[in-house]
C-alpha cells in the first residue's frame, strides 16, 4: 500500500496573544485510495492541522511528505506548484466565482497550472462535471445554482488537476442530510474507483463512521 501523505511529529505554536502549543506531536499516514475523516471538539486544532497539511501554513516544526517526498522546507513557489498539482480542496463554503460559469470555475486551477491547452482543460472539466452528474449546469452562472450543486462544482474544481489527495474542512457542514450523503457517496466512489485519497474534517458522526478510518483529535493531539 503506497503512502500519499505523511505527517511526522508536527508541532505548531501560536505566539500571539500568548504562546500556545496548538498541535502536539502529530504523526500519521494516509494511504492511496484511503478515505479518512478527522473528528474532534471545536478548537482542538483540526483546521490548523489541515492548513499545514495543505502546505498553506509553513510555520510549524516536524516534517510533511507528499508521495514520499519531503515538502517541508520547500520555497513558496515550489509549494504553490505542489498544492495546485497534487492537492484538491473542498471547504464548507465553496468559494466559487459567482459571475463565472460552472465550467469556467472548474477550469480555473488547470489554467493556473498551465500544463494543458484550453481545449484539453475544457474537455477535462466537462468530464469532471459528468462524474458529479452536473454536466447540464456547465454554462450556468455559479450564482444561479443550489447549495448542493455548488458543493459538487467545488468538488469538480478540486478534481480538475487529478490530485493525489482531496482535503476538506467540513465540506458538508453547510448541507442538508440529503446533500451530505450525496457528497459522501461521491467521495467514496472516487476513493474506491479512482484510488483517490481523502482527508476530511467533519463534525458529522454518521459521515465519519462510514469512512475507512477516523482520526480523533483532542486538545492538539491525536488520541485515536
Ligand X SMILES: Nc1ncnc2c1ncn2[C@@H]1O[C@H](COP(=O)(O)OP(=O)(O)OP(=O)(O)O)[C@@H](O)[C@H]1O
| Residue ranges binding ligand X (CB under 6 A) | 14, 20, 22, 40, 42-48
Neighbours of 67 (CB within 10 A): 15
Residue 48, contacted partner among ligand X, Mg ion, none, CB below 5-8 A by kind: ligand X
Q: Please give the residue ranges that form the binding site for Mg ion (CB under 5 A).
A: 47
**For ligand X, which is the closer residue by CB, 12 or 128?**
12
What whole-number distance in Å separates Cα of residue 162 and Cα of residue 205? 28
Distance of closest approach, residue 42 Cβ to ligand X, in angstroms? 3
Residue 88, contacted partner among Mg ion, ligand X, none, CB below 5-8 A by kind: none
**For ligand X, which is the closer residue by CB, 115 or 219?**
219
Residue 44, contacted partner among ligand X, Mg ion, none, CB below 5-8 A by kind: ligand X
Distance of closest approach, residue 47 Cβ to Mg ion, in angstroms? 3
What whole-number distance in Å separates Cα of residue 167 and Cα of residue 45? 15
**For ligand X, which is the closer residue by CB, 43 or 73?**
43
**For ligand X, which is the closer residue by CB, 51 or 187?**
51
Sheet holding 87-91, edge to edge: 87-91, 165-169, 197-201, 35-39, 213-218, 221-222
Amino acid at each position: 500500500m503506497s503512502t500519499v501523505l505523511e505527517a511526522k511529529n508536527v508541532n505548531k505554536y501560536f505566539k500571539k496573544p500568548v504562546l500556545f502549543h496548538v498541535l502536539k506531536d502529530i504523526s500519521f499516514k494516509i494511504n492511496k485510495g484511503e478515505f479518512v475523516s478527522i473528528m474532534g471538539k471545536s478548537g482542538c486544532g483540526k483546521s490548523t492541522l489541515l492548513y499545514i497539511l495543505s502546505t498553506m501554513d509553513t510555520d510549524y516544526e516536524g516534517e510533511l511528505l507528499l508521495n514520499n517526498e519531503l515538502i517541508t522546507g520547500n520555497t513558496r513557489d515550489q509549494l504553490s506548484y505542489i498544492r495546485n498539482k497534487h492537492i484538491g480542496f473542498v471547504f464548507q463554503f465553496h468559494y466559487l466565482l459567482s459571475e463565472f460559469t460552472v465550467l469556467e470555475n472548474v477550469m480555473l486551477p488547470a489554467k493556473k497550472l498551465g500544463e494543458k491547452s484550453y481545449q484539453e482543460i475544457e474537455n477535462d472539466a466537462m468530464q469532471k462535471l459528468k462524474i458529479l452528474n452536473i454536466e447540464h449546469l456547465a454554462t450556468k452562472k455559479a450564482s444561479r445554482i443550489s447549495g448542493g450543486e455548488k458543493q459538487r462544482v467545488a468538488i469538480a474544481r478540486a478534481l480538475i488537476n487529478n490530485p493525489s489527495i482531496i482535503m476538506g474542512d467540513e465540506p458538508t457542514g453547510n448541507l442538508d442530510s440529503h446533500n451530505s450523503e450525496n457528497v459522501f457517496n461521491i467521495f467514496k466512489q472516487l476513493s474506491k474507483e479512482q484510488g483517490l485519497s481523502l482527508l476530511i474534517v467533519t463534525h458529522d458522526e454518521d459521515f465519519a463512521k462510514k469512512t475507512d478510518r477516523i482520526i480523533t483529535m483532542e486538545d492538539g493531539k491525536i488520541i485515536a
